[in-house]
């Protein structure tokens, strides 16, 4: 059996792994053992899985493989943030970011090659879209990061304690593979992350949010970014399909009867666009009755963007106004911007099937030509 025909075991969460071993005529506990070898111990050589029979190890060697994305580039920020460019087997590249903090290490994981949405303030969206990542390509980012960080010699511990599905792509448009990967993240035989430490961020795919609430207990973050439909239609075009009323209705019931948990509302601060006192008041109004906390994100610029970061004094005033109204509000620290690893800056290398990136470059060239013409006239 050649490599292309072999089954990548990283595509299986525990339930799928158990089904696979049942097909081989093996007991379900074999799935638990192999899960632990792969994810807990990081072993990819079946010969080293010594609590499996020699015959089973030979069968796995013949029928399966353990393939993770290849590190094409590693960049380390002055603040300790680490970004990896990972090459997939089709030549596309995605980006994964590790953000170290005191007692905490957050891994930002991608779910798609590029992004199918077109949020105007996000660099990833400008790259266009190629395809969804497989479960193996999603969990492979976690597998890679855990091993790579353990190899690095640093003064401080660099361990993955939290995972956020906030990298390239809209996770809920790759629902099954993302849920399967998150199941592995929380599995006791894999990475043992609690439901409070795995967060999925969505632009607001309402039907998938409803389905996620039924199938998973992971934390939810919503890319809100605007307090009214008119502005959000511009910043997050998906809002035209799922407007704020529908989106916030799901947020109200997402955690069911658990009164302690809150949906994180992500709000990128754009100068002169969404950072006024009136916008703050509108945000307070629409979040009334929603179990929410607000995460203000200073805009991180990227080439050819029309947006600017809000002034710090305006961000502070915005935050104070929300807090006076009783909303838990924090301002996210900008991390890794010197290596383009900050929120909204991930780009990767995308074979753009949407031609969006080509259209954007053409539009930028036309603007430049018009500007030169105006100067010469």
CB atoms within 10 A of CB 323: 13
Distance CA 377, CA 373 (A): 6
Out of 95, 137, 170, 266, the active site residue is: 95
**Residue 196 has which token pair?**
């409070």
Exposure string for 222-242, b = 16+ CB within 10 A, e = fewer: bbbbbbbeebbbbbbebbeeb
Question: Phi and psi dihedrals of 87, rounded to 5?
Answer: -90, 130
Q: Which pairs with CB-CB distance under 8 Å and at least 24 residues apart come from 29-37?
A: 30/56, 32/189, 34/9, 34/60, 35/184, 35/187, 35/189, 35/190, 36/189, 36/190
132's tokens = 């969804």
HSE-up (13 A, CA, CB side) for residue 85: 15
Question: What is the three-class DSSP state of 320?
Answer: helix
The span from the CA of 365 to the CA of 361, in Å, is 6
Tell me which residue of 30, 233, 242, 16 sits closest to 139, measured CA to CA: 16
Is 93 tagged catalytic?
no
DSSP state, residue 74: E
Question: Is the torsion defined by CA of 7, 9, 11, 15 positive or negative?
Answer: positive
Helix (H) or strand (E) holding 294: strand 292-298
74 forms beta bridges with 84
Of 137, 262, 136, 148, residue with least CA distance to 199: 262
Q: Which residues pair with 73 in a beta bridge?
A: 85
Q: How far, in Å, CA of 77 to CA of 98, rounded?
A: 10
Active site residue 95: yes
DSSP symbol at 67? -
Cα 154 to Cα 134: distance, rounded to the nearest angstrom: 32
From 108, 115, 122, 343, the catalytic residue? 343
Q: Which residues are catalytic?
A: 95, 343
């Amino acid at each position: 059996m050649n490599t292309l025909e072999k089954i990548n075991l990283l595509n299986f969460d525990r339930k799928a792994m158990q089904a696979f071993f049942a097909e081989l005529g093996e007991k379900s506990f074999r799935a638990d053992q192999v899960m632990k070898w792969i994810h807990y111990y990081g072993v990819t050589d079946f010969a080293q899985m010594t609590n499996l029979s020699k015959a089973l190890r030979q069968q796995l060697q013949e029928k399966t493989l353990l393939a993770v994305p290849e590190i094409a580039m590693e960049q380390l920020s002055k603040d300790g943030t680490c970004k990896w460019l990972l090459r997939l087997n089709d030549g596309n590249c995605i980006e994964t970011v590790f953000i170290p903090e005191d007692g905490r290490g957050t891994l930002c994981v991608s779910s798609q090659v590029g992004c199918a949405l077109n949020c105007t303030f996000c660099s990833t969206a400008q790259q266009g879209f190629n395809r969804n990542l497989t479960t193996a390509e999603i969990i492979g980012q976690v597998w890679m990061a855990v091993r790579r960080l353990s190899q690095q010699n640093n003064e401080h511990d660099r361990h993955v304690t939290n995972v956020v599905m906030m990298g390239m792509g809209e996770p809920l448009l790759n629902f099954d593979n993302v849920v399967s990967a998150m199941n592995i993240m929380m599995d006791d035989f894999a990475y043992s992350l609690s439901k409070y430490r795995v967060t999925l961020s969505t632009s607001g795919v309402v039907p998938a949010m409803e389905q996620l609430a039924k199938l998973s207990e992971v934390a939810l973050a919503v890319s809100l970014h605007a307090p009214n439909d008119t502005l959000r239609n511009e910043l997050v075009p998906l809002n035209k399909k799922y407007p704020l009323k529908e989106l916030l209705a799901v947020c109200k019931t997402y955690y069911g009867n658990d009164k302690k948990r809150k949906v994180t509302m992500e709000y990128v601060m754009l100068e002169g666009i969404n950072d006024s006192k009136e916008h703050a008041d509108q945000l307070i109004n629409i979040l009334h009755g929603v179990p929410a906390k607000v995460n203000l994100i200073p805009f991180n610029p990227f080439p050819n963007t029309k947006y600017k970061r809000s002034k710090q004094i305006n961000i502070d005033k915005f935050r104070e106004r929300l807090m006076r109204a009783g909303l838990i509000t924090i301002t996210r620290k900008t991390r890794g911007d010197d290596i383009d690893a900050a929120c909204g800056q991930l780009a990767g290398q995308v074979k753009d099937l949407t031609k969006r990136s080509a259209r954007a470059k053409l539009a930028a060239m036309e603007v430049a030509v018009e500007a030169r013409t105006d100067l010469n006239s």
